[in-house]
């Protein structure tokens, strides 16, 4: 188990635990599970597999309860209700029903719902199609077309290559009866009792270009006198009233002066005053709605002859969305856009454009215009249109996929990867029918006549502007329509050897106590043998199960089993454990109690509103709170619910201790993919922004540590893995200033480190929990050495062990492979080198001037990602050598580590000088070389070029990460920079090379086999 979570609070525990396990999955899982107390039952759900797989198989979310171990929409999203209305998701309730898509027949049906509300994350996603925008959380799911199939996909996993589902037609019957209220003293005026087509057209026009200038005057405005004459006749027909038409500043004004008329409108259709579609319009039949729309388009609609468009623009975003929605009644799909006005006193304009032939024809048939010149333009455009449409796709299959589907070649289309317009689909259907392939033709016709189309889209992350987001649970088809986009039913979108028996949580003999554990119990065999002799029956081969049985055994020592004695039994059991552990423990007999314990394995207490969390790291609960208490070795935390309040006690060595609450500056968006296919790629691409932070953070601490480097005789950098490579860069940098520092494998430091009070030991650890690095720091302190640490996680164990802490500021890194944290570490070390140089009187301005340029250099390399991807596809062998010289030997070592970590192909890094000492005998067509070429200003530049020639001479393939073009190699060009910063600038190139090769091979790049993000055991 690489990460644990515990929870006690008012939320549904299964949901909190599942979310936490998903957040912790980056630490590496091969099995998972949850244990929850519901009333007097302890329910365990667990199995082998990824979190999503197990949670669905075991139905985690079906488990009720508020204590255990172990996605949504913006409130302004408009939902289509079954009664014909649209309503913001924040305003609907469980009494409402929504329209839901049946993907079998692509038709809409009304379905029951439940609504849920959640705290909004700091970052949301904006999905933009030509027809609408949708703002959502990263875990919300949408229906998309991917590789020719309709699938549901998390927003954070979208990469922009998919097609998104859009509702095209509300092929649904609405016909609610509406009766108007009467007013007195109206003779000779007559007032309609129910809506009529003529009345609805008047209402539409008033919404567009009508206004009440006083409590007795209604005015309509138009450029065309004949249009107002027509509307004057409508008023006469409907109300037995006539107005006067006059000209004013190039416009004609129709004035109707009657207090009773104004009173009637205000009483029956008050929405006219604030320019909103009257609520009852959404429930009317299509004939009445068409008349209403005709009135609006008469007032505000226009024809773009050159652009071949029908358009309408309004300053009310709500009204324009209502019009767009009502047009769907007739299968008219209008694209949506927003024109932001820079002028201070002008409001934004929101536009709808109708531009495809099918919608043009339907508009002419059902809506139309009163103005003759507009109708003539519309007809002329229709006669010239060829049916082309590039804004949506009715049949979500490429031409190639259609040919594969029908099984024969077609005269109508070629074997291409692009999609077909409706015009082309109609021709294909005609050809299929002529050849007797009726079933194939009918299948395509189903899409063509369906209520759903598919659209390309753009996606971006945005800062949240709301406190809460909302989701719906929808019966049967599990989807609903929000802002015209088809959304997956959010609430249902859940999400020894490796075996179900060995998966956590683990219970005692009576299945009353459940334990989850991260770490290693080193004396578990002895404890297990003793417990078996006492009659305990074990179900697994794990060390963890010993803990639950040990607590059970300790409880037997008490005459009375009450809460106080249970807590004593847990403490007594923990005293008998040797090794490393982070524990979360529950007992079904004490459902208001959650206990945690820590020893040399990270455990953090999350403090929420009326809720508490235990997690291996803060990502487990960062969705719910950013307040945390890092627990220390030996801590036991007891969280007890008393009525509606919680009591928290932390003990260490039998004494109550106080631990500080810290605020986590990270937000959960850091733990989301933000549209990238993998966390690793996201984190690689984040490096320019991360480096800007690392270039400024911890300035005072860096100066303090630089002074210590100057004052102490011996200086060690201790680290593991990628962090050790960062330490090796420090060796090269400080040697330029005449200072010897030693980069040491932390796991070997106890065997060869010479440590006393004249020694400075600096640990480098991303997580702050790396076991061997912590062990080295503790060894140093024990031998009276000064200690420092370069770390990424605030409140981690390393920050409490060291005398001086330097925060890196890289943010959460989810992918197991270190990328942005590596370059962040290098930036901190580079700044440390500069501060040391200034302390000893060197002019470091040359190096200081480069700091602010580094993010741009890195961005320049990242912009070569497509070139790097293509080069990775030419790497066909199973063995690779990474070479360089000087400070970039470290780049060769780190490049090889990245490559083998995620491709599972053999790779090793070395100096170019080592080639002749045995390795060159391996060079042939079966081993490729990645050469990291130093800047031309480097003294080893020419020498590395000679190494490349040696490889080429023996038939080897060379990929060069180089500042200049090199003949006969695959070149990844990087900026020409000073040698001291080249390891930072070159890093994204070999990171991307490894990434793209691993993706091509189908590897799990975020969670490579056998690896964990934070190595917290020996």
Q: Which residues are catalytic?
A: 2, 1013
The set of residues, in sequence order, having a beta carbon less than 8 Å from that of 918 and lying 6+ positions away, is none
Task: Annotate 689-750 with DSSP letters as a single string.
Answer: HHHHHHTTTTHHHHHHHHHHHHH-SEEEEEE-HHHHHHHHHHHHHHHTTT---EEEEGGGHH
Give the whole-angstrom CA distance, residue 583 versus residue 694.
34
CA-nearest of 765, 756, 784 to 717 is 765
Q: Left, alpha or beta for 969 (phi > 0: left; psi -120 to 50: alpha)?
A: beta
3-class state of residue 193 by DSSP:
coil
Give the whole-angstrom CA distance, residue 15 versus residue 21.
10
The set of residues, in sequence order, having a beta carbon less than 8 Å from that of 896 and lying 6+ positions away, is 880, 881, 882, 907, 908, 909
Give the whole-angstrom CA distance, residue 823 versus residue 690.
9
Contact 30, 8 (CB under 8 A): no
Strand-pair category, 513-521 with 579-587: antiparallel
Can you say whether the dihedral through the CA atoms of 37, 43, 47, 53 is positive or negative?
A: negative
Contact 20, 55 (CB under 8 A): no
The set of residues, in sequence order, having a beta carbon less than 8 Å from that of 696 and lying 6+ positions away, is none
Reading the block at residue 647, the tokens are 């009591």
Reading the block at residue 160, the tokens are 């922009």
Q: Tell me how far CA of residue 635 lies from CA of 240, 555, 650, 800, in angstroms.
A: 86, 21, 6, 14
Query: Which helix or strand (DSSP H or E) is residue 863 part of?
Result: none
Task: Annotate 316-327 with DSSP letters as a single string.
Answer: -HHHHHHHHHHH
Cβ burial 169-204 (10 Å sphere, 16+ → b, else e): bbbbebeeeeebeeeeebeeeebeeebbbbbbbbbb
Distance, CA of 566 to chain centre: 42
Residues pairing with 86 in the sheet:
80
Contact 932, 986 (CB under 8 A): yes
Residues pairing with 692 in the sheet:
none
Task: Annotate 584-622 with DSSP letters as a single string.
Answer: EEEETTSTTEEEEEEEBS--EEEEETTEEEEESSGGGTT
Give the whole-angstrom CA distance, residue 1015 versus residue 719.
12
Reading the block at residue 407, the tokens are 């099984």
Give burial (CB, 10 Å; 0-12/13-18/19+) of 647: exposed
CA-nearest of 937, 762, 962, 960 to 850 is 937
Cβ burial 275-306 (10 Å sphere, 16+ → b, else e): bebbebbbbbebebbbbbbbbbbbbbbebeee
Q: In 805-874, where does DSSP find H-type helix?
A: 820-839, 845-851, 854-862, 865-872
3-class state of residue 967 by DSSP:
coil
Contact 1002, 677 (CB under 8 A): no
Give the whole-angstrom CA distance, residue 408 versus residue 404.
7
């Amino acid at each position: 188990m690489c990460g644990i979570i515990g929870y006690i609070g008012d939320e549904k525990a299964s949901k909190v635990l599942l979310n936490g396990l998903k957040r912790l999955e980056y630490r590496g899982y091969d099995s998972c599970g949850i244990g929850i107390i519901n009333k007097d039952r302890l329910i365990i759900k667990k199995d082998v597999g990824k979190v999503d797989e197990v949670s669905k198989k075991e139905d985690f979310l079906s488990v009720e309860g508020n204590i255990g171990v172990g996605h949504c929409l913006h409130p302004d999203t408009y939902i289509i209700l079954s009664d014909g209305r649209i309503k913001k998701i924040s305003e609907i309730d469980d009494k409402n029903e929504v329209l839901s898509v049946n993907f079998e027949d692509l038709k809409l049906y009304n379905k029951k719902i439940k609504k849920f509300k959640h705290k909004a994350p700091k970052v949301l996603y904006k999905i933009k199609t030509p027809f609408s925008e949708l703002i959502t959380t990263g875990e919300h799911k949408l229906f998309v077309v991917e590789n020719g199939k309709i699938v549901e996909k998390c927003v954070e996993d979208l990469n922009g290559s998919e097609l998104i589902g859009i509702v095209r037609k509300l092929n649904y019957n609405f016909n609610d009866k509406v009766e108007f209220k009467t007013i007195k003293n109206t003779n000779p005026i007559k007032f309609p009792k129910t809506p009529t087509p003529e009345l609805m057209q008047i209402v539409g026009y008033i919404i567009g270009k009508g206004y009440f200038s006083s409590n007795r005057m209604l005015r309509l405005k138009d450029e065309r006198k004949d249009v107002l004459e027509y509307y004057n006749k409508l008023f006469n027909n409907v109300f037995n009233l006539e107005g006067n038409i006059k000209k004013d500043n190039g416009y004609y004004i129709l004035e109707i002066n009657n207090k009773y008329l104004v009173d009637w409108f205000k009483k029956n259709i008050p929405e006219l005053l604030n320019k909103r579609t009257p609520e009852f319009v959404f429930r009317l039949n299509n004939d009445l709605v068409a008349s209403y729309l005709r009135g609006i388009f008469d007032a505000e609609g226009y024809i773009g002859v050159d652009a071949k468009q029908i358009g309408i623009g309004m300053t009310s975003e709500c009204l324009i969305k209502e019009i767009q929605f009502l047009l769907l009644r007739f299968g008219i799909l209008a694209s949506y856009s927003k024109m932001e006005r820079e002028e201070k006193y002008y409001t934004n304009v929101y536009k709808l454009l109708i531009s495809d032939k099918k919608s043009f024809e339907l508009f002419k048939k059902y809506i139309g215009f009163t103005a003759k010149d507009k109708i003539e333009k519309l007809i002329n455009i229709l006669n010239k249109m060829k049916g082309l449409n590039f804004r949506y796709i009715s049949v979500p299959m490429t031409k190639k996929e259609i040919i594969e589907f029908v099984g024969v070649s077609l005269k109508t289309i070629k074997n291409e990867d692009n999609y077909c317009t409706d015009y082309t689909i109609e021709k294909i259907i005609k050809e299929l029918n002529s050849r007797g392939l009726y079933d194939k033709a009918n299948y395509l016709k189903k899409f063509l006549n369906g209520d759903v189309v598919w659209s390309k889209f753009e996606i971006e992350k945005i800062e949240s502007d709301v406190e809460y987001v909302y989701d719906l649970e929808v019966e049967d088809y599990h989807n609903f329509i929000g802002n015209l986009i088809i959304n997956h039913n959010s609430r249902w979108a859940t999400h020894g050897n490796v075996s179900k028996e060995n998966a956590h949580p683990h219970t005692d003999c009576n299945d009353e106590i459940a334990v989850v554990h991260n770490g290693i119990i080193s004396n578990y065999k002895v404890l297990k043998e003793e417990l078996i002799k006492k009659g305990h029956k074990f179900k697994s081969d794990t060390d963890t199960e010993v803990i639950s049985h040990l607590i059970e055994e300790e409880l037997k020592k008490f005459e009375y089993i009450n809460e106080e004695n249970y807590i004593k039994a847990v403490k007594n059991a923990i005293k008998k454990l040797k090794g490393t552990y982070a524990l979360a423990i529950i007992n079904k007999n004490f459902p208001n109690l959650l206990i945690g314990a820590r020893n040399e394995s990270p455990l953090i207490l999350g403090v929420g509103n009326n809720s508490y969390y235990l997690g291996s790291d803060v990502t487990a609960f960062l969705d719910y709170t950013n307040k945390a208490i890092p627990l220390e070795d030996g801590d036991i935390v007891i969280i007890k619910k008393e009525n509606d309040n919680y009591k928290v006690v932390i003990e260490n060595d039998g004494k109550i201790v106080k631990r500080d609450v810290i605020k986590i500056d990270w937000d959960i968006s850091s733990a989301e993919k933000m549209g990238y296919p993998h966390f690793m790629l996201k984190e690689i691409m984040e490096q320019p922004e991360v480096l800007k932070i690392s270039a400024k953070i911890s300035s005072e601490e860096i100066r303090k540590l630089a002074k210590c480097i100057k004052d102490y005789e011996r200086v060690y950098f201790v680290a593991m893995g990628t962090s050790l490579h960062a330490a090796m860069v420090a060796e090269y940098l400080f040697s330029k200033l005449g200072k010897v520092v030693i980069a040491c494998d932390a796991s070997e430091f106890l065997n060869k480190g010479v440590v006393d009070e004249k020694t400075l030991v600096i640990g480098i650890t991303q997580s702050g929990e790396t076991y061997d690095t912590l062990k080295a720091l503790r060894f140093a302190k024990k031998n009276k050495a000064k200690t420092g640490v370069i770390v990424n996680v605030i409140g981690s164990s390393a920050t409490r062990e060291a005398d001086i802490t330097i925060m890196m500021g890289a943010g959460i890194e989810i992918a197991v492979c270190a990328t942005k944290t590596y370059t962040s570490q290098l930036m901190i070390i580079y700044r440390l080198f500069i501060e040391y140089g200034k302390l000893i009187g060197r002019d470091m301005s040359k190096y200081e001037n480069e700091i602010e340029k580094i993010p741009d250099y890195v961005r320049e390399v990242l912009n070569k990602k497509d070139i790097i991807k293509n080069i990775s596809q030419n790497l066909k062998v199973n063995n690779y050598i990474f070479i360089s010289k000087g400070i970039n030997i470290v780049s060769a070592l780190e490049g090889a580590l990245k490559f083998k970590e995620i491709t599972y192909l053999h790779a090793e890094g070395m100096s170019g000088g080592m080639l002749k000492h045995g390795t060159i005998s391996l060079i042939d067509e079966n081993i490729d070389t990645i050469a990291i070429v130093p800047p031309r200003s480097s003294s080893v530049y020419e020498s590395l070029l000679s190494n490349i020639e040696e490889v080429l001479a023996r038939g080897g393939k060379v990929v060069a990460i180089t500042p200049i073009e090199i003949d006969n190699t695959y070149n990844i060009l990087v900026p020409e920079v000073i040698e001291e910063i080249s390891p930072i600038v070159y890093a994204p190139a070999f990171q991307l090379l490894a990434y793209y090769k691993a993706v091509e091979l189908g590897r799990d790049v975020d969670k490579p086999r056998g690896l964990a993000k934070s190595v917290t055991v020996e």
